Structure 1
Amino acid sequence: MPRHEALVLLLCLLGLWLCPQVRGYFASVDAHVEECFFDRVSSGMKMSLTFEVVEGGFLDIDVKIIGPDDRVIYSGDRESNGKYTFAAHMDGEFRYCFSNQMSSMTPKVVMFNMDVGDAPKDRIEGDEQSQLEGMVSELSQGLTVVKHEQEYMEVRERIHRMINDNTNSRVVWWAVFEAFLLVAMTFGQIYYLKRFFEVRRVI
């Protein structure tokens, strides 16, 4: 029994140690502005960018991921959301930029996560500790992906709820306006007919 408890404790510690770095942010990108963020990583490290435009205009933005050698790793125009995963091809500072250059006056609010995992390690075949570390690392990364998917779905649900509330509000106000217009036209017609018959009677 103590050996089983020690194994569970070891798995928990390895999970915490091998857990990838997770950075989640909200950024406001003004019109005609490009905002860039940086991560310094080692070659072979797995990186994953997930983003969602949560507010502003048509909910679209230009995205770029650029390596330390100024090579464009990923580029997307007018995207509302997305996910891109890659392995660092060299040591150095990677930057990911959100550009709102195409917007004339509307700022955009972007929610994004940048996951930075560990570089792959050479494993010795038959080494139980290495295999255990590998399984814990994969489990940790899988849990991180699930967490980010849940956050992504929450943001999507909030955006759609805001759109629905906005649409419902417009429908209600339009119905009120139509009712007011109908009442005004009714009173207008009554007044016009009353005046018409009054004029006929005078003549």
Structure 2
Amino acid sequence: MKDRRIYIMSRFCASIVFSLLFDFGSCITFHLPVNVNRCLREEIHKDVLVTGEYQVSDQPDANTILKITDSSGHTLYTKEDATKGKFAFTTEDYDMFEVCFESKYPMGTGRVPDQLVTLDMKHGVEAKNYEEIAKVEKLKPLEVELRRLEDLSESIINDFAYMKKREEEMRDTNESTNTRVLYFSVFSMCCLTGLATWQIFYLRRFFKAKKLIE
């Protein structure tokens, strides 16, 4: 019983450490000049919940557009006159996703200060609302942290599984490439051997025709 209690507490402490690591530095802040499009890219796995919260500093007459797309150009989220809000979507496949902010401003109005953009984007375990889960499932604080740790462990396992799959694909590609190189090398050697043999017989006939050899 004591060992089990120590085991639960160790997992609880580990979950807190992981939570701190994941929460730290998740917010991004940058300046957006007028009539400029700036994008952030991130690779995200399949079937992963992605949430985000953004805030753009107020700029009179400026229209800031937020657009989220995948590598195929499919729009996952778009917002005209984006000043402050939230977004959420679930990925359908492992892909590179792009979050773009574009500031449009009437030309000929002189120098305009840059807008300050703040983006807090989370995915996977970070994006889940465990307070809501605790209310729905009536979980205790320790059970919530264990659930968070379980989800985090599952996420890490999925990452390793994806890395293993990619490693297998790369190994198959390397083996296929090596096989093709081997076949090409054998074919090249056969061609060179045939060419050398043809040259020998050709020169032999040529020298015989010139009566240089018997």
Q: What's the TM-score once normalised by structure 2's chain length? A: 0.51
Q: From 101, 104, 120, give the equivalent of 1:98.
A: 101
Q: What are the residue-to-residue correspondences of 1:5-20 with 2, within 5 Å? A: 5-14=6-15, 16-17=17-18
Rounded to whole Å, the distance in 1 between the matches of 2:81 and 2:58 is 14
Change (3 A) 1:15 1:58: farther
Q: From 30, 48, 52, give the equivalent of 2:33.
A: 30
One-letter identity of the residue aligned with 1:79: A
Q: From 59, 65, 70, give the equivalent of 1:67.
A: 70
Q: Quick check: 1:38–1:93 contact (8 Å CA) kept in 2?
A: yes
User: Match for residue 86 of structure 2?
Assistant: 83
Higher relative contact order (CA 8 A, sep 6+): 1
User: Match for residue 51 of structure 1?
Assistant: 54
User: Match for residue 177 of structure 1?
Assistant: none
Q: Quick check: 1:53–1:60 contact (8 Å CA) kept in 2?
A: no
How well do the aligned residues superpose, as a CA RMSD in angstroms?
3.2
Rounded to whole Å, the distance in 2 between the matches of 1:48 and 1:106 is 29
Rounded to whole Å, the distance in 1 between the matches of 2:14 and 2:52 is 26
One-letter identity of the residue aligned with 1:62: I
**Cα deviation digits, residues 84-128 of structure 1 (max 9, x gap):** 11111111110000110235434211111110215xxxxxxxxxx
Partner secondary structure for residue 4 of structure 1 = helix
User: Match for residue 114 of structure 2?
Assistant: 107
| Structure of larger gyration radius | 2
Rounded to whole Å, the distance in 1 between the matches of 2:38 and 2:72 is 19
**Cα deviation digits, residues 12-65 of structure 1 (max 9, x gap):** 324545789552111111011011001101111111121001354368621001
One-letter identity of the residue aligned with 1:29: L
Q: Quick check: 2:15–2:146 contact (8 Å CA) kept in 1?
A: no
Q: Quick check: 1:32–1:102 contact (8 Å CA) kept in 2?
A: yes
- Tell me the number of residue pairs that the alignment of Structure 1 and Structure 2 aligns: 129
4+ long deviations beyond 6 Å: 131-134
User: Match for residue 5 of structure 2?
Assistant: 4
Identity over aligned residues, as a percent? 15
Q: Quick check: 1:61–1:79 contact (8 Å CA) kept in 2?
A: yes
Unaligned runs of 5+ in 1: 119-130, 141-203
One-letter identity of the residue aligned with 2:114: P
User: Match for residue 162 of structure 1?
Assistant: none
One-letter identity of the residue aligned with 1:81: K
User: Match for residue 136 of structure 1?
Assistant: 148
Q: Quick check: 1:51–1:110 contact (8 Å CA) kept in 2?
A: yes
Partner secondary structure for residue 46 of structure 2 = coil
Q: What's the TM-score once normalised by structure 1's chain length? A: 0.53
